[in-house]
Copies of this chain bind each other. A is one copy, B any other.
C-alpha cells in the first residue's frame, strides 16, 4: 500500500444527510452527481437516505451504475451524437434522461427506438456550455423539435452554476446562485406560459446547493462534490474544514533538510495537477492533523508535483518532527479528480 484515498464514512453520511434533508424540506429531488466518487460503496450510502435518481457525466458511467441496479439516470453532459446506439440500448434498461443544447442533437435522436427524457441545457451565466438564458427563441425551437421527435420526451431545463466557483464567501455564492436561479426560473415560467407544459427545472453545483436554503421554482438539485468536499470548496465557502470527508494518505520517502522539504509518494497521478492559491501559497494539497475527530492544518503543503512525486514545503517549526516513512494526511484540492485517479477508497476513523 503505497498511498491511499481515505474516506471518513461518518462525515460522508453527514454530508449526504444534510443535503437530503434540505431537499426534503424544500420538496426538491436530490439527484446526486456520481462522477465525484464513481464508487459502489459510496453509492450504497446514498440508498440509505432514500436516493434512487442519480446524475452521471458519461454513458460509460451510466452503464456502470445501471449494471448495479440504478434505474433512474441523468447523463448531464451534452449529447455525443456518435453514441446514439449505446444510448438507445441503455434507454431500454433504465429511465434515461439526457442533455441537449443544439438542433443537431435532436436530429440525432430520430435514430432512437426507445424513449428518453430530454433536458435542455441553459447557460445561466457560467458561459461553459448551454443556450444563453436570454435566447428564448432558440430554446423554444429545441422544444418544438423535441415535440416532433418520436422518442424524445421534452422534460425541462437544466443549468450548472459553475461560476459560483469564483466565490470566496457564502454571501458571494448566494449572490451568484440567486441571480442564476432567477434567470433560469423566469425562462421556465415563460416557456410554461407558451407551451402549456410543466417545465422541470434542475440545477447543479455543490456551492449553490450547500448554501441555498430555499429553492423557489427549482425541482431538482444535482450536487456531486458535497459528498467529500475539498480544499477548493473550503476556499469557496461551501463547507467547513470538518465537513471534508476524503483525504489522501501519502508516505514520506525523502527529506531535504536544507530546503525544509519532504518528498512524498503522491504525485499528479494521485492528487491530480489541480492547484489553487490558498492561505497565501500555491498548493496541490494541504497537510492536516487529526485530533479526536477534528482536522487542523499544519501549515505544510504540497508545493509541486511530478508524475509520482509530491514535494511538501514545511514550516521551520514543523520540519524536524517529520521522519522517513511517516504517513501524511492531505486535503486534496479537488476530491473528484483525486477520487477518479485513486479508484479504491479506504474507510478511516
Seen from chain A, the residues whose Cβ lies within 8 Å of a Cβ on chain B are 1-2, 35, 57-60, 77-83, 101-102, 104-105, 108, 121, 127-130, 132, 162, 251, 253-256, 258-259, 263, 265, 268-269, 272-274, 306-309, 311, 323-325, 327, 336-337, 340-341
Establish whether residues B259 and A1, one from each chain, have CB atoms under 8 Å apart when the complex forms: no
CB of A112, distance to nearest CB on chain B (Å): 16
Query: Which residues of B sit under 8 angstroms from A59, Cβ to Cβ?
Result: 2
Establish whether residues B263 and A129, one from each chain, have CB atoms under 8 Å apart when the complex forms: yes
Query: Which residues of B sit under 8 angstroms from A1, Cβ to Cβ?
Result: 82-83
Quick one: copies of this chain in the complex?
2
Establish whether residues B263 and A274, one from each chain, have CB atoms under 8 Å apart when the complex forms: no
Query: Which residues of B sit under 8 angstroms from A255, Cβ to Cβ?
Result: 102
Query: Chain A interface mostly helix, strand, loop or mixed?
Result: mixed
Instruction: Tell me the nearest residue of chain B to A33, going by C-beta.
Output: B307
Establish whether residues B254 and A129, one from each chain, have CB atoms under 8 Å apart when the complex forms: yes
Establish whether residues B2 and A325, one from each chain, have CB atoms under 8 Å apart when the complex forms: no
Establish whether residues B265 and A77, one from each chain, have CB atoms under 8 Å apart when the complex forms: yes
Which of B78, B254, B323, B327 touches A253 (beta carbons < 8 Å)? B78
Establish whether residues B104 and A2, one from each chain, have CB atoms under 8 Å apart when the complex forms: no
Which of B82, B128, B272, B308 touches A57 (beta carbons < 8 Å)? B308
Instruction: Tell me the nearest residue of chain B to A333, going by C-beta.
Output: B273
Establish whether residues B129 and A269, one from each chain, have CB atoms under 8 Å apart when the complex forms: no
Q: Could you pull out 23 A-B pairs where Cβ atoms are within 8 angstroms?
A: A2-B58, A2-B59, A2-B60, A2-B80, A2-B82, A2-B83, A57-B307, A57-B308, A58-B308, A77-B253, A77-B265, A79-B253, A80-B253, A82-B327, A101-B254, A102-B255, A102-B324, A104-B323, A128-B311, A129-B309, A268-B274, A269-B337, A273-B274
